[in-house]
Amino acid sequence: MQPATNPTRSARSALALRERWMLLCGVLFFVLLLRLWPRTADLSLWLLLPVAALLLLAVLALSQVLLMLLARSISRRWADPTPAVAWPGLWGAALREARACLRVFTYEQAMRWRDYPDSLPGGSHDSTKSPLVLIHGYVCNRGIWRRWMRELSEQRWPYASVNLEPVFGSIDAYIPLVEEAVTRAQALGDAKPWLVCHSMGGLVARAWAAATPDAEQRIAGIVTLGTPHRGTWLSRLARTPNGRQMHPDSPWLQALQQRETEQSERLSELARLSVHAQTDQIVFPPATATLATGQNWLVAGVGHVAMARDPRLLARILTWIETRRGAKAAEGV
């Protein structure tokens, strides 16, 4: 059996090293700026470091505000029906998103992605609960789920996860990784697993379901968070294979939709929940993260990265999964 974290050391090490350099270079850049500023030239390095870190956080927050304003402007131009969030909510979401990005991309994914290993058969988890398969998104690894993994571990909730590699490969190339994770999740209890996916991970899950003839017999459903089901405007800036596949109305998205339409009778047996946010600064317009089938939840006050770390959203999703399972049991399914 492969390790629970399913690592490829060289690719992961390169990603972690790049994230650490991003943090170090950012802090050093602001230290240099502060040193060149006449009023701070005489401050010691130990005072400049925390000030530089705070300045970096402020710049990150400002960048999130600008991205959210861009998303709002484009959404209006595209006549997106999602109501815009008020200014106080936008500022709050931007600050929380800045903290989430700083923590995820310079600490949790770079250094702490191994903290909570996947559940193993016969482990301390509750085998009566529906296992989760956690599938991350673009330019990420399983470390983005660290906060949720801690919550799941405390609740003894079984889960498996993937690291989507190569980082800049085709979405179709990730299907075998999902297949392996689903197989591991099936061994964690009697209940069917759920695929819980962030961003591009939701497209990976859909591609796996369309390519797997017995998917509806092996999993209970798919939950997506900020997934560009119909593409995202921001992907126009991407030049990688998976980035181009997320262009609005890309040939890959159209082909996936066609495969799903041809298999609609089978795939309709899978429960679907799509979560989208008013302040998602990466996947926008917001309605592009919804599906015509299943349930769609609109959440407020949360950005794209923070969506995969919000404990209240996790609790709500787990309750929804258990409610769905209870309803199925009552129907005798």
Over residues 234-285, the pLDDT tens digits come to 999 999 999 999 999 899 999 999 999 999 999 999 999 999 999 999 999 9
Strand ranges, E, within 77-218: 132-135, 159-161, 194-198
Q: Lowest-confidence range among 16-20, 178-182, 245-249, 256-260?
A: 16-20
- Residue 148: pLDDT band (50, 70, 90) is very high
Spatial contact of 238 and 246, defined as CB atoms under 8 Å apart: yes
C-beta separation of 87 from 69 below 8 A:
no
Do 152 and 216 touch, CB atoms closer than 8 A?
no
Residue 34 pLDDT greater than 80, yes or no: no
**Cβ(248)–Cβ(272) under 8 Å?**
no
Residue 35, pLDDT > 60, answer: no
203 pLDDT more than 50: yes
pLDDT score recorded for residue 47:
63
Q: What is the pLDDT of residue 19?
A: 47
CB atoms within 10 A of CB 153: 17
What's the CA gap between 200 and 247, in Å, rounded? 12
Q: In whole numbers, what is the pLDDT of the chain averaged over residues?
A: 87
In whole angstroms, give the CA distance from residue 82 to residue 84.
6
- pLDDT for 105 equals 86
- What are phi and psi for residue 271, nearest 5 degrees? -70, 145
The count of C-alpha atoms lying within 13 angstroms of the C-alpha of 85, restricted to the half-sphere facing its C-beta, is 24
Q: What is the mean pLDDT of residues 143-157?
A: 97
pLDDT digits (tens, 9 = 90+) for 62-96: 788 889 999 999 999 999 999 988 888 898 999 89
Position 290 scores a pLDDT of 97
Residue 271 CA to residue 268 CA, distance in Å, equals 7
194-198 vs 132-135, strand pairing mode? parallel
pLDDT band for 98, please (50, 70, 90 cuts).
confident
Per-residue confidence band for 7, with pLDDT thresholds at 50, 70 and 90: very low
Bridge partners, residue 298, by sequence: 276
Neighbours of 16 (CB within 10 A): 17
Q: Which of 9-13, 96-100, 110-114 has the lowest mean pLDDT?
A: 9-13
Region 116-130: mean pLDDT is: 96
Residue 111's pLDDT band (boundaries 50, 70, 90)? confident
Nearest to 305 by CA among 94, 91, 81: 94
Overall fold of domain 132-328: Rossmann fold (3.40.50)
Q: Are 108 and 144 in contact (CB under 8 A)?
A: yes
Q: Choose from 86-90, 110-114, 167-171 the range with maximum mean pLDDT.
A: 167-171
pLDDT of residue 37: 58
- Percent share of the chain, pLDDT over 70: 81
3-class state of residue 124 by DSSP:
coil
Residue 131 predicted with pLDDT over 50: yes
- How does residue 36 score in pLDDT terms, banded at 50, 70 and 90? low
**For position 38, what pLDDT does the model report?**
53
Please give the sequence-ordered ranges of beta strands (E in DSSP) within 49-162, or none if there are none: 132-135, 159-161
Instruction: Name the residue ranges covered by the structural domains of the chain.
Output: 9-111, 132-328
> Which of 230, 208, 221, 247 minimizes the C-alpha distance to 290?
230
Identify the H or E element spanning 97. Answer: helix 87-103
